[in-house]
């Protein structure tokens, strides 16, 4: 497994103007709306079935669809509130709660979650990095596999590793570009913007983020001040 190259040379891309804050915010909002629309649409379909007099024999199926979609939406909202939002006034997050948020997300994707976070608590930048890299690792396993998530404090830094290990891992060029801090080239903004957002807040916190790959695994790695 190799990380795909940037669509243009890195030097040329680094010389390109950085995306404006408003553009990044718009792409993030569109990305989250894309994730939310599926369960919301399913809930509406279930409600339509309940209202249809000719489909009363499907009432049980409709209630099941509404319930499953509501749980998925709640899991996504809880995850995104911390991964992308301010999450009220919290500045430090219990790692067990972060694990529960990640478990909620992984209930709705093919990859399995192996949560091995040793650090008992994480400051907001590290907590956001942990959740976002967990989601990127899961997304890199579209046909299944294991996303192993680790975080530990060492010599004044929080070291994060999200390892995507599976039979056919896939890393889009947009994700590689975003983590490097490169402007969007060809491809889809929804994949690029999350990785670029991670690059922004990790570097703003005085940390670094990078990719490594070997065999059937992709490692998403970050180091932030503790």
Characterize the bridge pairing of strands 92-94 and 112-117: unpaired
Three-state secondary structure along 77-129? HHHHHHHCCCCCCCCEEEHHHHHHHHHHHHCCCCCEEEEEECCCEEEHHHHHH
* CA–CA dist 126, 107 (Å, integer): 23
pLDDT tens by residue, 90-117: 789 999 999 999 999 999 999 999 999 9
Q: Which two tokens stand for residue 64?
A: 């099941």
3-state secondary structure of 19: coil
pLDDT 10s digit of each residue in the chain, 226 long?
444 444 445 555 566 667 878 999 999 999 999 999 999 999 999 999 999 999 889 999 999 999 999 999 999 999 999 999 865 567 899 999 999 999 999 999 999 999 999 999 999 999 999 999 999 999 999 999 999 999 999 999 999 999 999 998 999 999 999 999 999 877 789 899 999 999 999 999 999 999 998 778 999 999 999 9
Q: Which two tokens stand for residue 83?
A: 């991964």
Note whether 4 and 217 are within 8 A (CB). no
| Nearest of 68, 160, 146 to residue 106 by alpha carbon | 146
Characterize the bridge pairing of strands 217-225 and 121-123: unpaired
Backbone angles phi, psi at 212, to 5 degrees: -145, 145
* CA–CA dist 22, 111 (Å, integer): 33
* CA–CA dist 144, 123 (Å, integer): 30
CA distances from 3 to 34, 103, 121, 147, 182 (A): 25, 26, 31, 17, 15
Note whether 128 and 92 are within 8 A (CB). no
Residues contacting 174, CB < 8 A, separation 6+: 184, 185, 187, 188, 189, 191, 192, 195
pTM of the model: 0.89
């Amino acid at each position: 497994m190799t990380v795909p190259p940037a669509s243009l040379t890195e030097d040329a891309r680094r010389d390109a103007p950085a995306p404006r804050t408003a553009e990044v915010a718009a792409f993030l909002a569109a990305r989250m709306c894309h994730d939310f629309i599926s369960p919301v649409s399913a809930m509406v379909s279930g409600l339509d079935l309940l209202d249809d007099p000719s489909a009363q024999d499907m009432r049980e199926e409709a209630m099941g669809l509404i319930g499953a979609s509501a749980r998925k939406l709640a899991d996504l909202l809880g995850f995104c509130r911390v991964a992308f939002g301010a999450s009220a006034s919290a500045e430090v997050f219990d790692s067990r709660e972060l694990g529960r948020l990640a478990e909620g997300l992984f209930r709705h994707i093919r990859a399995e979650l192996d949560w091995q976070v040793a650090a008992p608590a994480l400051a907001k930048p590290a907590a956001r990095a942990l959740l976002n890299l967990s989601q990127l690792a899961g997304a890199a396993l579209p046909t299944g596999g294991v996303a192993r998530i680790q975080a530990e404090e060492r010599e004044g830094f929080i070291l994060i590793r999200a390892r995507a290990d599976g039979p056919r891992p896939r890393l889009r060029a947009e994700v590689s570009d975003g983590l490097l801090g490169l402007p969007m080239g060809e491809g889809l903004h929804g994949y690029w913007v999350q990785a670029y957002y991670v690059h922004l807040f990790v570097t703003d916190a005085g940390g670094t983020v990078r990719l490594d790959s070997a065999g059937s695994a992709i490692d998403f790695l970050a180091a932030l001040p503790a």
